[in-house]
Amino acid sequence: MSVLDKLQVVQAAERAAGYDPVRVRRKKLAAALQEQLNLLAQGDGGGYRRVRIERKRDLETDEVVEVEQRRRVAPWWSYDDAGQVRFAVRYGSISLNLREDGGVIVLPSLEALKELIPALRQEVLRGGFDEALAQAAETLMARFKPRAPVEGARRKT
């Protein structure tokens, strides 16, 4: 019996080519939710830091070296007066509006939040948050000003 007989084999789908902003938004939000899960795993507001590798040139030896930078991850949850956990899903600096009646999820404890985040992450990757992500991206892009033309610069034709 062949190994292939035990596997499920289907026709290959074509790969998506080029830049797809919807897919990029999904991946960015899924990665941010994973960071929130990592932060929860370290304890309530614990010592989790996002590690980013940056390449810099050493001016004395003129070699490119990789420098590890640790960046703080801000928690997306807080506690209300009743002791419940309030979790706001964020895209950049904007809190996503998950429904018409609001965008903050209220949970009884951090343990419930630990169980919820993987399900939210899967929903993001399936496309359940695409409409809210598109609105947030529009709001963020509206904050940026278009570049002023530089005098004396030639235009691309």
- Location of structure tokens 């940026």: 144
**What percent of the chain shows pLDDT beyond 90?**
55
Closest of 111, 110, 124 to residue 30, by C-alpha: 124
Report whether pLDDT(17) > 80. no
Mean pLDDT on 98-125: 92
Report whether pLDDT(44) > 70. no
Q: What is the DSSP string of 2-55?
A: -HHHHS---PPPPPPPS--HHHHHHHHHHHHHHHHHHHHHT-TT-S-EEEEEEE
Rounded Cα distance between 66 and 48, Å, is 21
Mean pLDDT on 133-138: 92
pTM score over 0.95: no
- Residue partners of 136: CB distance under 8 A and separation at least 6: 91, 92, 94, 96
Contact 110, 40 (CB under 8 A): yes
Task: Read off the pLDDT band of 153 (50, 70, 90).
Answer: low
Helix (H) or strand (E) holding 80: none
Eight-state DSSP code of residue 73 = -
Q: What's the CA dihedral at 117, 132, 22, 148 to 10 degrees?
A: -120
Mean pLDDT on 118-136: 94
Report whether pLDDT(45) > 60. no
Tokens of 33: 């939710």
Whole-number pLDDT of residue 129: 92
Whole-number pLDDT of residue 11: 85
Average the pLDDT over each of 22-36, 94-108, 112-126 and give the range with the smallest value: 94-108
Higher pLDDT among residues 121 and 59, named by residue: 121
